[in-house]
Amino acid sequence: MLRRLPSKNKPDDRKKRTIIGADLPETEIFRGDLLIQSLSGFPRSIGCMYYYDDTGSALFERLCKEDSYYLFRAEQEILAQYAKSVANITGPASIVELGSGNAQKTTLLINAYVENHGPTSYAAIDVNRSILEKAAENLLSMTPDLNFTGIIGVYQTGLEQAATITGPKLLVCLGASMGNMYDDELHDLLRSVRSLFAPGDYFLVGIDLDKNSDVLEAAYNNQSAILTNLCVLQHLNWRFDGNFNVFQFRHVAFHNKSLCRMEAHLEAMQAQSVKLKKLDFSFCLEEGEMIRTEIMRKVNVHTFNEIVMKHGLNPVHHWTDYERRYAICLYKIVDG
């Protein structure tokens, strides 16, 4: 059962700030059984949510400032230019965000809703508790006409919580996060959106468009990207009392053109035996063996629309940045 906790923050913020799921055990968010399954598969993999402990979230913020990581700036440019258009199309709505992080770019959207429609509610879903606290602080200091709800948890449980919010809703997923999902995860999420949200609700999704391998590989091979990737192992060591020797791994990120995605891996530079004590799980890695840590889909709008439309969401409009590197697509949930 999820409990609502009052904020410890400034007294006038309290009425506007709710955190849901603060008593949810982290073992229900970062599930050991799922990790064992993915580390036992071929190829071995680690879910990308393991990027986002406090160190990883800080490194992601640093990555967003890297010159070669164009995604953040391109999405910000689109929101700065078109957030009001989104607000005009949808009319008043509560905003719900999947994987909000620090919600820096979302501020542009929230401000457009406040300006166009008056006081607005915003619910941010994220696995990282402290990033939600940070998002609340930033947003409430900048936008007083906002009701903030932080929902700690994975997308699916977060969506179930958010679906109980009454009235029209705009669901948002920025940072190309839907591109990190494997096919089954993407379809499961879209199925949930369709079944939990109402006809007439909207879904706004940021997608990274397919492009030249050099540009893509530069975005995921800078210093922050390398550190972020390696930190996944430190996260696992800390959370599950593991013994990954981080210094014996190498970051590998490449454009897999045939699957239209970038892939990030960690390659073992020597054979090693790994144990995650809290999970009572061990396995052996051979020299040169890779663990896949993330996929990042690179699509065009038409292909992405086809995937989304299979789940009863109709494309309404999309916007791109000036250089057409990135798109933000708006969908509407249809009847029936």
The reply on whether position 154 binds ligand SAM by CB under 6 A is yes
| Contact string (CB under 6 A) for ligand SAM, positions 40-69, x = contact | ---------x--x----x--x---------
* Distance of closest approach, residue 69 Cβ to ligand SAM, in angstroms: 11
The nearest distance, CB 297 to ligand SAM, in angstroms, is 13
Regarding 232 and contact with ligand SAM (CB under 6 A), the answer is no
Please report whether residue 127 would count as binding ligand SAM according to CB under 6 A: yes
Q: How far is CA 90 from the centre of its chain?
A: 23
The SS3 call for residue 151 is: strand
Our finding on whether 239 is near ligand SAM (CB under 6 A) is no
Confirm or reject binding of residue 252 to ligand SAM (CB under 6 A): no
Give the helix/strand (H/E) hosting 301.
helix 301-309
Q: Which stretch binds ligand SAM (CB under 6 A): 120-128, 277-285, 289-297, 298-306?
A: 120-128
- C-alpha 234/C-alpha 198 separation (Å) is 41
Closest to 328 in 3D by CA, of 204, 222, 243: 204
Phi (first) and psi of residue 303, to 5 degrees: -60, -45
Pick 95 or 174: Cβ nearer ligand SAM? 174
- Choose, by CB under 6 A, the member of 101, 150, 179, 242 that binds ligand SAM: 101
Per CB under 6 A, the list member of 111, 128, 143, 293 interacting with ligand SAM is: 128
Here the contacts of 62-66 (C-beta below 8 Å, separation 24 or greater) are: 62/224, 62/227, 63/222, 63/224, 63/225, 63/228, 65/224, 66/219, 66/222, 66/223, 66/224, 66/225
Contact at 8 Å (CB) between 159 and 185? no
Binding mask 20-39 for ligand SAM (x = CB under 6 A): --------------------
139 binds ligand SAM (CB under 6 A): no
For position 123 contacting ligand SAM by CB under 6 A, the verdict is no
Distance separating the N- and C-terminal Cα atoms of the chain: 32
Per-residue tokens: 104: 């820096």
Other C-beta atoms lying within 10 Å of the C-beta of residue 92: 15
Q: Which of residues 184-223 bind ligand SAM (CB under 6 A)?
A: none
264 binds ligand SAM (CB under 6 A): no
Q: Is 96 in the site for ligand SAM (CB under 6 A)?
A: no
Planar angle of CA 288, 294, 295, nearest 5 degrees:
110
Amino acid at 205: V
> Least distance in Å: CB of 175 to ligand SAM?
3
- Cβ contacts of residue 215 below 8 Å, gap of 6+? 70, 325
In the complex, minimum distance from the CB of residue 303 to ligand SAM, in angstroms, rounded to a whole number: 21
266 and 229 Cβ atoms separated by less than 8 Å:
yes
Between residues 152 and 285, which has the closer beta carbon with respect to ligand SAM? 152
Shortest Å, Cβ 209 to ligand SAM: 16
For residue 254, the surrounding DSSP H or E stretch is: strand 249-256
Stretch that binds ligand SAM, among 3-11, 124-132, 214-222, 282-290 (CB under 6 A): 124-132
Our CB check for ligand SAM shows the closer of 74 and 93 to be 74
Site for ligand SAM, rule CB under 6 A: 49, 52, 57, 60, 99-101, 105, 125-128, 131, 154-155, 174-175, 177
